[in-house]
Amino acid sequence: MKYLRHTYCLLSLIIVGANESNGQQRPQYTQYVFNNYLLNPALSGTENSVDVKLGHRMQWSGLKDAPQTSFVSAHWSLGSDYLWQNPLSLPRESDNPMSKSYMRHYTSSPAHYGVGVMAVSDRTGPISRIDAGMSYAYHLQLSGTNNLSVGTYIGLSRISLDENALDLETDGDPALSDVLATQFKPDASIGVWLYGARFFAGLSVQQVIPQVLAFTKSSNYKQGKTVPHFFATSGYKLFLDEEISLIPSFMLKGVSNLPLSVDLNVKLSYKDQIWIGGSYRKSDSFSGMVGFNLKRFANLTYAYDQTTSTLNRVSNGTHEIVLGIQIDGAYQVFSGGRTWR
C-alpha cells in the first residue's frame, strides 16, 4: 500500500503543478505578449487578417522529463466593414501601419465579431495534455480610437498518463491495477480586451469549469482538481522617433493558493522589421527575446529564459520559438501585424 499511496501522491503533484517555479496547471509562455490570444479569447478577430501562430517551447532544457509545449492558433474577424486606418483596414502600399504618422490618424474599428481556433500540446514526464477548442468575441466600437472586446473559449482537454514511463520500485505495483490512463474534460475561458492604436489592456480567466483530476477509478485518490487561472496584462507603445518604438508591458497571473506571479516586459523595435526584448518573471527567470518580420506576411521570434530559482542547478534554461503568419483573406494578399504588436 505504501507504493500505491506514493505513486498517486506523485501523480497528484505533477498534475496540479505544485512546484516552486511553475505553480500552475496550464503551460507557461515567454512570448505571450506577441500572442495574447493564447491566454485571452477576447482577442479573436482583433484585426482584418487571419493571425496564425505556431510555436514550440522546451522548458528547463537538460532536465529529464521537463515540460515541452507546442501550439498552433489562428483567429480572424467576421464581416466586411472596413474603415481607413483602423485595425480592420489595410494601409496603402506606401504606408507603414506601425509608424508614428500612420497612428496619428488611427480610428477605432467598427463593431464586429471574431472567431478563432487553437490547439496546445503539453507534456511533463509521464503526463501529457492536449487542449483544443474554438473562441468567439464581440468587438464594441468606443468613441475616438478605442475598442472593447468580450470573448469566450470552449474546448476539450485530453489528459493522459503513460504507464510505461513510470519508474516504480516494485514491478506490478497495485497502484496501476485500476489506472485511468486517458480522460477527457470540458474546458472554458473568458476574457475582455481594451485596445487602441498604441495600448492594450486585458483580463481573462482560464479553466472556469471545475474538474476532478485523478488517474485512478478508486474514490480514495480523487483529490486532484483544476483551479481557475487569472491573467491581467497591459502595455503601451512609445515612439522614440519615427522609426524606433518601445513597448513596455506587464502581466499578473493568479492561481489559487499560490503567490501572485509578476512579469515585466519590454520590446524595442526598429521600423517594425527587427526587434529585441527582455522579460523578468519574479522569483523565476530573466528572458531575452529577438525577432524579425519577413516583409508583410510573416515573422519569426525566439526567446531564451535563464532560470533564477534553484532549478538553475540542473537546468540549462528554456528555449521558445514562434512563427507568425498574417493572411488577409479579404484582399487576397499577405499583411503584417500593426498597432501595438
- In one-letter notation, the amino acid at residue 315 is S
C-alpha–C-alpha distance, residues 63 and 53, integer Å: 27
CATH of domain 2-334: 2.40.160.40
According to the model, what pLDDT value does residue 91 have? 59
CB 183, CB 146: distance < 8 Å: no
According to the model, what pLDDT value does residue 2 have? 41
Averaged pLDDT score across all residues of the chain: 81
C-alpha–C-alpha distance, residues 307 and 312, integer Å: 5
- pTM score: 0.84
How does residue 63 score in pLDDT terms, banded at 50, 70 and 90? confident
Which residue did the predictor score with more confidence, 68 or 125? 68
Q: 3-state DSSP helix/strand/coil percent for the chain, to nearest 5?
A: 10, 50, 40
Residue 341: all three cell numbers together: 504588436
Which residue did the predictor score with more confidence, 108 or 205? 205
Encode 103-120: b = buried (16+ Cβ within 10 Å), e = exposed: beebbbbeebebbbbbeb
The string of pLDDT tens digits covering residues 93-102 is: 555 656 676 6
How does residue 81 score in pLDDT terms, banded at 50, 70 and 90? low
Q: How far apart are the first and last CA of the chain?
A: 55
C-alpha–C-alpha distance, residues 20 and 182, integer Å: 27
Distances (CA, A) of 251 to 29, 30, 234, 265, 276: 12, 11, 7, 8, 19
CB 234, CB 202: distance < 8 Å: yes
Which residue did the predictor score with more confidence, 149 or 126? 149
Residue 155 has pLDDT above 50, yes or no: yes
How does residue 36 score in pLDDT terms, banded at 50, 70 and 90? very high
The residue with cell 474599428 is: 109
Question: Average pLDDT in the 140-167 region?
Answer: 89
Which residue did the predictor score with more confidence, 286 or 329? 286
